[in-house]
Amino acid sequence: MTVLVTGANRGLGSAFASALVERGAMKVYAAARDPEAIRTPGVTAVGLDVTDHTQLAGLAERLSDVTMVINNSGIHRRTSLFDDDAVDVVESVLRTNLLGTLAVSAAFTPVIIANGAGVIANMLSAGSWLAGPGNLAYAVSKAAALSLTNNMRAELGPKGVQVTAIHAGFIDTDMMAAFPGAKLSPRDVSNAALSAIAEGAQEVLVDEMSWRAKTASALPVPGFPA
């Protein structure tokens, strides 16, 4: 198994890369905009901006042995519908969280299939189903990325590619540094996800928040107060 992990310079991406090395992956490519920032032992650091399509095409040509991609790159910017820059902020977050995931997947799908099929795992969120103040851009991007994942699965499943959506609540990363509540360990999330993927899971709900969010999403939308 040769794996590409995006956003692997810190937090959850670094935890995924480390866990893959520990599990005996043949090779782990740890990708980040600044490959010098990657410190995980046992990985091959590569430079990648998931929004740069020219760079991505060249990387897919170079990394011709990849059989698994973990789309972990993601950003969070607080915004509200009432903010003057709401459209610009949502657009910027979609560029990484949605279009970056699509671009990486599109670039490496032919590589994975040429190598006898494999796995694409998209790091999503309980936020795929949740909405809240200030969370407009992130929630929209993860909901869209969930739809993308479902469509990828429909297209790639018949070609032998497992497409897995990974959902988790608050994780102890730089993105959630300001959140004062309980947070999941990146190592626990990465290990839980990788174990489920190895068993063939195409949806991983890592914690109770994810289970509750998905369950609540199926409930009827309440009527508007009279």
CA 15 to chain centre: 13
Report the alpha-carbon angle 68-140-134, nearest 5: 125
Average pLDDT over residues 211-224: 95
Q: Is pLDDT above 80 for 180?
A: no
Domains and CATH numbers, the chain: 2-214 (3.40.50.720)
DSSP 3-state of 121: strand
CA dihedral 174, 122, 17, 34 (to 10 degrees): -60
C-alpha Rg value of the chain to the nearest Å: 17
Average pLDDT over residues 221-226: 89
Q: How confident is the model at residue 182 (pLDDT cuts 50, 70, 90)?
A: confident
Contacts of 56 (CB under 8 A, 6+ apart): 48, 50, 103, 104, 107
Average pLDDT over residues 209-225: 95
Cα–Cα distance for residue pair 50/182, rounded to 1 Å:
30
Average pLDDT over residues 4-15: 96
Q: pTM here?
A: 0.95
Contacts of 19 (CB under 8 A, 6+ apart): 187, 190, 191, 194
Q: Is pLDDT above 80 for 170?
A: yes
pLDDT at site 176: 59
CB atoms within 10 A of CB 172: 19
Question: Which range among 118-132, 168-182, 186-200, 203-217 shows the weakest confidence by mean pLDDT?
Answer: 168-182
pLDDT at site 107: 97
Average pLDDT over residues 78-83: 94
Q: pLDDT > 90: what percent of the chain? A: 91
Mean residue pLDDT of the chain comes to 95
Sheet holding 44-47, edge to edge: 44-47, 27-32, 2-5, 68-71, 119-123, 162-167, 203-205
pLDDT, one tens digit per residue, over 28-52 is: 999 999 999 999 999 999 999 999 9
pLDDT at site 148: 98
Q: Is pLDDT above 70 for 83?
A: yes
Contact 140, 154 (CB under 8 A): no
